[in-house]
Amino acid sequence: MALSPKEQQKVTQLLGYGGKTIQAGSVIYNKILNDRLNQLPPDTEEFVREWIEQVYVIEQQMKCAPTRLSTSKVQDIELNAHELPMLRSERKRIARELAAALDVPYMGSGANIRLAL
């Protein structure tokens, strides 16, 4: 089953492209990225869906991290102050793997973009 338009949009944003990059007729339309997303082999589609899910989980953790990071220690438990940068780094790693799998350039971290499932 091909990626849905919503999944394609998530991939596009994760890779750092503009929201209208895969919309035909847009000024920033990218035919190569659009073709790649529409012609994925089934096994690659499954990997793409797994990467989307991994990023969603990371972003949920990132959403909760600021609350935890406001405290450095709870009784005998020391909290990791580097949690948020580590989560961002993992998100970027996944995006780069995805770009490599699709054979398209990775355009940026997309740190300000959140994927909603």
Q: What residues does each domain of the chain span?
A: 5-102
Looking at per-residue confidence, does 89 or 67 come out higher?
89
Highest averaged pLDDT of the listed ranges 78-82, 93-97, 107-111: 93-97
- Sequence-separated (6 or more) residues with CB below 8 Å from residue 46: none
What pLDDT score does 87 carry? 84
Average pLDDT over residues 5-20: 90
Which pairs with CB-CB distance under 8 Å and at least 24 residues apart come from 109-113? 109/16, 110/13, 110/14, 110/15, 110/16, 113/13, 113/14
Return the closest-CA partner of residue 12 out of 52, 47, 39: 52
| β-pairing verdict for 77-78 and 73-74 | antiparallel
CB 11 within 8 A of CB 107: no
Q: What is the dihedral of CA 81, 84, 90, 91, to 10 degrees?
A: 180
**How far are the Cα atoms of 18, 32, 60, 88, 92 from residue 63, in angstroms, in the given order?**
23, 33, 5, 11, 16
Whole-model pTM: value is: 0.73
Using the predicted structure, report yes or no on whether residue 25 has a pLDDT greater than 50: yes
Q: What are phi and psi of 73, to 5 degrees?
A: -150, 140
Q: What single-letter DSSP state applies at residue 106?
A: -
Q: What is the mean pLDDT of the chain?
A: 82
